[in-house]
Amino acid sequence: MAKLDILKEALEHGPGQALQRGALIHEKTGTTLPVEVVMTEGERLIALVVCAQGDLERLHPNAKVRVELPRDNAVIWIKGQVRECRAERALELVEVDMDCLTAERRARRMDVRLASRCRILVGGADGNGRWDETRTLNISSEGVLVVSESRANVGERVEVEFELGGEALRCQAEVLRRGVKIHGALSRTNAALKLLDLSPAQRDTIQLFVLREQAAAKLDRRR
């Protein structure tokens, strides 16, 4: 069956690569939880999820859920229902056993709007850097678009710090271009930054944020 081929593709990885990380989304409430897909068995998928007590209660047998595993400009989209959820207590890794109803690869822009305060450190390598205060417009795991009057030039390496879901994220970035169109309008103060040397945890944080925001937007459209 084609859906089993998609599941196999989603779980294939070479030596040294991480487990397949993404989001488990509760279809009714839009609750989005970090997930690591461990294996498939027939048309069943086994995953590890971190959840609190309230989230655990939603993952009862037959609860409708989907798993989304991010790829470049796409997600592996797996829809199903919970068969069993195994946990000794809340706030730890919970093993979720789900029956897969459909699985497909879906093209999708993996970025979302992000209204957050942001700081850009220019010229920090020699200890004479200066922080420029600005704000973010959108984000993906590859980069962030900011409103910036910064002195940073295209091609320059800077340090960027911003909030993501209440958590501070700080990393290196390169200024890719200035004057980026938003909704068809060109703004001289916009700057596109490519995020560099993200740790696996930082990349997971950003991808989960994107999936969570996309799930929330989809739920709002249904209401």
**Residue-wise pLDDT tens digits, 32-82:** 999 998 888 778 889 999 887 778 888 999 999 999 998 878 898 999 999
Reply yes or no on whether the pLDDT at 111 is more than 60. Answer: yes
Q: What is the pLDDT of residue 40?
A: 80
Reply yes or no on whether the pLDDT at 18 is more than 80. Answer: no
Reply yes or no on whether the pLDDT at 2 is more than 60. Answer: no
Chosen CATH of 2-108 out of 2.30.110.10, 3.20.20.150, 3.40.50.2300, 3.30.460.10: 2.30.110.10
Reply yes or no on whether the pLDDT at 135 is more than 80. Answer: yes
Reply yes or no on whether the pLDDT at 201 is more than 60. Answer: yes
Say which residue the tokens 């700080």 belong to: 170
Tell me the torsion sign for CA atoms 199, 133, 110, 99. positive
Closest CA relative to residue 83, chosen from 121, 20, 112, 41: 41
Chosen CATH of 111-204 out of 3.90.1150.10, 2.40.10.220, 3.40.50.300, 1.10.10.10: 2.40.10.220
Domain ranges of the chain: 2-108, 111-204
Q: What is the pLDDT of residue 78?
A: 92
Q: 3-state DSSP: the chain helix, strand, coil percent, rounded to 5? A: 15, 55, 25
**123: DSSP letter:** S
pLDDT band at 141 (very low <50, low <70, confident <90, very high): confident
